[in-house]
């Protein structure tokens, strides 16, 4: 809910071979279409690899040694998993909800309103507990 896990690490051997092949092949008229076709053959939809293959296809043919070096560099860069992304707006919304419920509890208690202050404080505590638990489990998984 609060964290978007990053893309998984890609197998370096496959990335290296595909980028090397794309660097060695002559430049196609539609690099993006060719990259999509290659990704379909691989059975992958990873946007990072599609971008790397498209870039390699747009590069004029390079010598085999340079292609090996560039493919190895690209594979190493794509081999690590992307860090998780934190959704700030969801966290702010949960804090605002907690503050609103706690504020309503204080208001009901201070004005001796017939609405039960204990109910609002209970809801605020539940929101706080759920948010804390979600943050802890999501962070542990990432």
Residues 70 and 107 in one domain: no
Residue 76 has pLDDT above 90, yes or no: no
- Residue 36: inside a domain: yes
Residue 131 shares a structural domain with residue 91: yes
Alpha-carbon gap, residue 84 to 6, rounded angstroms: 5
Report the 10 Å Cβ neighbour count for 19.
Answer: 26
State the total domains in the chain. 2
Last residue of a domain, one of 79, 100, 128: 79
What is the CA angle 59-63-68, rounded to 5?
A: 85
Residue-number span of the structural domain to which 123 is assigned: 87-141
The pTM assigned to this predicted structure is: 0.48
Summarize pLDDT for 8-56 with one digit per residue, the tens. Answer: 556 778 778 888 888 888 777 788 888 888 878 777 777 777 888 888 8
1 within a domain of the structure (yes/no)? no
Cα dist from 67 to 41, 78, 101, whole Å? 21, 16, 60
Distance (Å, whole) CA 43 – CA 30: 20
Q: Per the domain annotation, does 3 fall within a domain?
A: no
pLDDT at 100: 93
> Domain boundary residue among 27, 47, 79?
79
Extended beta strands in the chain, E state? 3-4, 85-86
Q: For residue range 80-122, what is the model confidence (pLDDT) as tens digits?
A: 666 677 788 888 899 999 999 999 999 998 988 877 888 999 9
């Amino acid at each position: 809910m609060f964290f978007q896990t990053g893309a998984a690490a890609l197998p370096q051997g496959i990335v290296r071979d595909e980028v090397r092949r794309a660097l060695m092949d002559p430049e196609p008229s539609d690099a993006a279409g060719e990259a999509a076709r290659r990704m379909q053959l691989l059975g992958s939809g990873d946007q990072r690899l599609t971008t790397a293959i498209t870039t390699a296809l747009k590069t004029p043919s390079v010598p085999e040694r340079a292609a090996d070096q560039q493919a190895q560099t690209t594979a190493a860069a794509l081999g690590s998993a992307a860090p998780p992304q934190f959704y700030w707006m969801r966290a702010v919304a949960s804090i605002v909800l907690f503050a609103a419920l706690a504020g309503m509890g204080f208001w009901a208690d201070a004005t001796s309103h017939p609405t039960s202050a204990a109910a609002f404080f209970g809801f605020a505590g539940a929101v706080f507990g759920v948010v804390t638990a979600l943050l802890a489990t999501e962070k542990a998984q990432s």
